[in-house]
Amino acid sequence: KNEVEQSPQNLTAQEGEFITINCSYSVGISALHWLQQHPGGGIVSLFMLSSGKKKHGRLIATINIQEKHSSLHITASHPRDSAVYICAVRISGTYKYIFGTGTRLKVLA
Amino acid sequence: NAGVMQNPRHLVRRRGQEARLRCSPMKGHSHVYWYRQLPEEGLKFMVYLQKENIIDESGMPKERFSAEFPKEGPSILRIQQVVRGDSAAYFCASSPLPLASQETQYFGPGTRLLVL
């Protein structure tokens, strides 16, 4: 079993839909990142969380440390949101990151 | 302010050759991280460096791989005697402060290494 699990693996949505991507982890962490990898391969860091909730535009990320779970929400989804979304956790007491295998999102117009 | 630069963007090597991947962090950033993404797999942490120091190399294969971040110039990831299994995308990321300080990291475009 992977130490970082994401669900779903693949997601197709219609433009305008509310989208939720989940990340569960089984190790002690000091931070959790959500990354976006575009079809061309480039990676953008969306959020870094250690507690609570963060919002940036149409993106919202939450983390529940006790439950070892984080969610990434996209409101009013758009075709340009189509990408792979990756959850990464930093292991407590280290600089080492473990990555989920990603959620491939496709938003149809 | 230019972003993180990596070169080359694509690199083809024959088995047994050496591969040198370069990463120039964003201006003012003194912390560099290298990650590897194997085909159809997720990203994997390789090494974390500060200027002139390797801080955490727990993700680096023990043999053939080395990394440096000299006082002047880019960070270099070096792979000696490449094998087909080294074919992957190699990403570097930089941050101005250690990530432990809640700072985010900025990714380069990656180097796609193909070993024939």
Question: Residue A81: what pLDDT?
Answer: 96
| Chain A residues in contact with B45 (beta carbon < 8 A) | 96-99
What DSSP state is assigned to residue A21?
A: E
Q: How many CB atoms lie within 10 A of CB B9?
A: 12
Mean pLDDT of all residues in B47-67: 93
pLDDT level of residue B84 (50, 70, 90 thresholds)? very high
Question: Residue A95: what pLDDT?
Answer: 79
CB under 8 Å to B92, separation ≥6 — which residues? B4, B6, B21, B23, B25, B32, B33, B34, B35, B75, B77, B107, B108
- The 10s digit of each residue's pLDDT in B21-45 is 999 999 888 899 999 998 878 899 9
Please answer yes or no on whether A44 and B89 come within 8 Å at the CB atom. no
Inform me whether the C-beta atom of residue B55 falls under 8 Å from chain A C-beta atoms: yes
Inform me whether the C-beta atom of residue B26 falls under 8 Å from chain A C-beta atoms: no
| Chain A residues in contact with B91 (beta carbon < 8 A) | 43
Please answer yes or no on whether B110 and A43 come within 8 Å at the CB atom. yes
Question: Residue B102: what pLDDT?
Answer: 59
| Most B-contacting residue of A3, A6, A43, A94 (CB-CB within 10 A), to test interface | A43
Please answer yes or no on whether B109 and A41 come within 8 Å at the CB atom. yes
| Chain A residues in contact with B43 (beta carbon < 8 A) | 43, 86, 88, 97, 99
- The 10s digit of each residue's pLDDT in A46-87 is 999 988 999 999 999 999 999 999 999 999 999 999 999 999
Please answer yes or no on whether B110 and A44 come within 8 Å at the CB atom. no
- The 10s digit of each residue's pLDDT in A1-52 is 689 999 999 999 999 999 999 999 999 998 999 999 988 788 998 999 988 9
pLDDT level of residue B97 (50, 70, 90 thresholds)? confident
B94 and B31 in contact (C-beta within 8 Å)? yes
Question: Residue B105: what pLDDT?
Answer: 83
What DSSP state is assigned to residue A65?
A: T
| Chain A residues in contact with B98 (beta carbon < 8 A) | 95
Please answer yes or no on whether A101 and B41 come within 8 Å at the CB atom. yes
Q: Which is more confidently placed, B3 or B96?
A: B3
